């Protein structure tokens, strides 16, 4: 079963869920009974392919034959329902596992909290948060980050800082994800100066932030027309020896295009490729879109060919 888990996971990760199902079906004839690890892998694989209903059916069938799922298996299914937005079904699984004597853990609660936050139901997420604390399950950084994101999306930015304090009071340290959620929320709600100040304060405290934070900042600056700040940001990062990734380069190229600096945008493209960073369909689309607007239907021809030559499939 160890071998099978590894194999199934490999197939699922490669998007070969169909093949994984076939291998799974061969386990019994092969004399190897699927265990909890195998089931969680299959459930996760099916859910990742958008086949959550099948994952659920697979489990139900196995349980009918006496299989007893553990918390990891249930978590995989709950996560599947959360990511398709079927929150009530997720809650159904959550309640079902408890009635079968399986206690939810941090991940279970965090998945549900994240699901509710993403669909704008922060209140229910907060209820779950209280429930988990009551049940003696300690929230972790991921839990708090999800809640912070939920409150951010609702525009409750003041509440967010309360959550941050609550989190630190329980001995948890916000991480890069936490900061990226915060800064992105500040940016997307138009509070760019606050985001800039916050970012600056992090840097001064010696806290490392990553590409995601810089991309949020870059995106916001470009969309607000603050091109000089955007270029300065890019320049500063490069001076600090930071190598921007595909997202960051793309958002800067987007800014240059909006500013009308097409040739500089093209230079950035060369620059990223020189740095060994892959340009993808998004990157090329930004340039193609601008070239179309500037030069009409023949404008993007060269760049389109470059994209094809680079082996990038248009989407």
Least distance from RNA to the Cβ atom of residue 57, Å: 18
Least distance from RNA to the Cβ atom of residue 110, Å: 4
**Unique residue bearing structure tokens 């392919």:** 49
Residue 119 binds RNA, judged by CB under 7 A: no
Least distance from RNA to the Cβ atom of residue 162, Å: 18
Residue 47, φ and ψ in degrees, nearest 5: -65, -40
DSSP state of 140: -
Among the listed ranges 14-22, 90-98, 205-213, 233-241, the one in contact with RNA (CB under 7 A) is 205-213
Residue 124 binds RNA, judged by CB under 7 A: no
Residue 189 binds RNA, judged by CB under 7 A: no
Nearer to RNA, 196 or 285 (CB): 285
Among 52, 111, 231, 268, the residue binding RNA under the rule CB under 7 A is: 111
Least distance from RNA to the Cβ atom of residue 268, Å: 12
Residue 185 CB neighbours (<10 A): 22
Name the 3-class secondary structure at 88: helix
DSSP state of 69: -
Q: Which of residues 10-29 bind RNA (CB under 7 A)?
A: none
Task: Decide if 142 contacts 129 (C-beta within 8 A).
Answer: no
Rounded distance, CA 215 to CA 269, Å?
16
Q: Which of residues 269-298 bind RNA (CB under 7 A)?
A: 280-283, 285-286, 289
Residue 211 binds RNA, judged by CB under 7 A: yes
Residue 98 binds RNA, judged by CB under 7 A: no
**Unique residue bearing structure tokens 């409750």:** 156
Task: Decide if 131 contacts 164 (C-beta within 8 A).
Answer: no
Q: At what angle do helices 17-27 and 36-48 cross, to 10 degrees?
A: 160
Least distance from RNA to the Cβ atom of residue 158, Å: 20
* Token pair in block for residue 186: 């500040």
Measured CA distances, 32 to 8, 73, 99, 234 (Å): 14, 19, 29, 55
Residue 268 binds RNA, judged by CB under 7 A: no
Rounded distance, CA 218 to CA 229, Å?
9
Residue 145 binds RNA, judged by CB under 7 A: yes
Residue 157 binds RNA, judged by CB under 7 A: no
Cα torsion 296, 298, 300, 305 to 10°: value is: 170
Among the listed ranges 91-99, 137-145, 225-233, 267-275, the one in contact with RNA (CB under 7 A) is 137-145
Residue 131 binds RNA, judged by CB under 7 A: no
* Token pair in block for residue 30: 């092969």
Residue 5 binds RNA, judged by CB under 7 A: yes
Q: At what angle do helices 122-134 and 106-118 cross, to 10 degrees?
A: 170
DSSP state of 6: H
Least distance from RNA to the Cβ atom of residue 313, Å: 10
Residue 87 binds RNA, judged by CB under 7 A: no
Which residues touch 25 (CB under 8 Å, ≥6 apart)?
none
Q: Which of residues 55-74 bind RNA (CB under 7 A)?
A: 70-73
Residue 229 binds RNA, judged by CB under 7 A: no
Q: What does the binding site for RNA look like in residue numbers (CB under 7 A)?
A: 1-2, 4-6, 9, 35-38, 40-41, 44, 70-73, 75-76, 79, 83, 105-108, 110-111, 114, 118, 140-143, 145-146, 149, 175-178, 180-181, 184, 210-216, 219, 223, 245-248, 250-251, 254, 280-283, 285-286, 289, 315
């Amino acid at each position: 079963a160890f071998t099978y888990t590894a194999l199934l996971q490999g197939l699922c990760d490669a998007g070969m869920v169909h093949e994984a199902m076939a291998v799974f079906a061969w386990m019994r004839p092969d004399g190897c009974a699927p265990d909890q690890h195998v089931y969680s892998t299959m459930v996760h694989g099916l859910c990742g392919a958008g086949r959550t209903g099948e994952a659920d059916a697979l489990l139900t069938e196995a349980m009918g034959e006496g299989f007893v799922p553990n918390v990891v298996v249930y978590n995989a299914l709950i996560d599947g329902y959360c990511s398709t937005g079927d929150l009530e079904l997720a809650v159904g699984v959550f309640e079902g596992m408890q009635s079968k004597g399986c206690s939810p853990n941090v991940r279970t609660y965090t998945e549900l909290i994240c699901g509710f936050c993403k669909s704008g139901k922060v209140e229910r997420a907060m209820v779950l948060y209280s429930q988990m604390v009551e049940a003696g399950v300690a929230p972790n950084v991921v839990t708090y980050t999800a809640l912070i994101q939920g409150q951010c999306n609702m525009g409750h930015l003041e509440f967010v800082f309360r959550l941050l304090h609550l989190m630190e009071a329980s001995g948890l340290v916000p991480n890069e994800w936490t900061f990226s959620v915060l800064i992105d929320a500040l940016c997307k709600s138009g509070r760019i100066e606050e985001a800039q100040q916050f970012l600056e304060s992090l840097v001064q405290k010696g806290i490392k932030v990553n590409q995601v934070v810089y991309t949020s900042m870059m995106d916001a600056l470009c969309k607000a027309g603050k091109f000089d700040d955007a270029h300065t940001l890019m320049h500063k990062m490069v001076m600090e020896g930071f190598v921007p990734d595909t997202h960051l380069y793309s958002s800067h190229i987007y800014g240059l295009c909006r500013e009308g600096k097409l040739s500089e945008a093209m230079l950035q493209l060369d620059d990223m490729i020189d740095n060994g960073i892959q340009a993808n369909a998004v990157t090329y689309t930004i340039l193609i879109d601008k070239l179309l607007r500037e030069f009409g239907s023949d404008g993007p021809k060269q760049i389109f060919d470059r994209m094809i030559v680079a082996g990038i499939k248009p989407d």
